[in-house]
Amino acid sequence: MFVVLAELYHKQEFLESLKRVPNMKWKAGIPKRFEGMSAVQVKSLLSKNMQQLPAPTVKLTGEVPEFWNWNHEMPECAGAKTVRDQADCGSCWAFSAVNQLADNRCIQKLDKKRIQLSEQYVVSCDPINTGCDGGYIKVVQHYLINTGTVTDKCTPYTSGLSGRDGKCPQKCKDDSELEFIKATKTENVCADEESIKVAITKGLVQTGFSVFSDFMYYE
């Protein structure tokens, strides 16, 4: 009888090599969130949908302050307390879009206080994106405009524990009717530094990036 152990993602040798990189602008370490995870577990958190969908972009111009951070400007809307964990589900696409909507509604004072919206409803119900296997920014933004989502109190997040998309609910957890909150519009900002800076001063921005092996050592 023998046991096959899953290979751990983090390697001490790789960490030490990162620490030796000259003029490193970030601290290399093993974040507690990913400590002890296997390579398979880490990969399960990442979107498998890598194809970029074409979309017209808007170039933004204007004066911007030297420093801008919504965590400082309006922490009640976009502070550290609003950060949520997708856990064992590749639902970053839903988390970033849904919480962008919640933060921006608070910043624009459309809600008296920030309302936590449901990532789970989007993960379970968006018919084009693929739940825990990933999704597209353009698609989820249009879903929030056309369909919207409900509150987290109505449909709380469960995919992080199960690793599954879950069935699209027809009623809230307490058996009350679904009430939808929608986005009004979306703009695809040019990926140049000036446009991004201007966009960030207007509200929270959803973005995506390719994850390389050293990202999981960012502490």
* Per-domain residue ranges of the chain: 47-210
Q: Among 91, 88, 79, 101, which Cα is nearest to 162's?
A: 88
Identify the three-state secondary structure at position 216. helix
Cα–Cα distance between 154 and 140 in angstroms, integer?
Answer: 20
Question: Over the stretch 170-219, which tens digit does the pLDDT of each residue have?
Answer: 999 999 999 999 999 988 888 788 888 999 999 999 988 878 888 888 88
Over residues 81-94, mean pLDDT:
90
Sign of CA dihedral 34, 39, 41, 47: positive
What is the Cα Rg of the chain in Å? 19
Superfamily of domain 47-210: Cysteine proteinases (3.90.70.10)
Main-chain dihedrals φ then ψ at residue 28, nearest 5 degrees = -90, 135
Sign of CA dihedral 14, 17, 21, 27: positive
What per-residue confidence (pLDDT) applies to 39?
A: 81
The whole-number pLDDT of residue 2 equals: 45
List beta partners, residue 53. Answer: none
Tell me the pTM.
Answer: 0.83
Q: Show the beta-strand stretches assigned E in the chain.
A: none
Q: SS3 for 159?
A: helix
Helix segments in 30-118, DSSP class H: 39-44, 70-73, 75-78, 92-107
Position 210 scores a pLDDT of 79
User: For residues 23 and 47, which has the higher predicted lDDT (pLDDT)?
Assistant: 23
- Indicate the average pLDDT of the chain: 88
Phi, psi angle pair for 218, to nearest 5°? -75, 120
CB atoms within 10 A of CB 113: 8
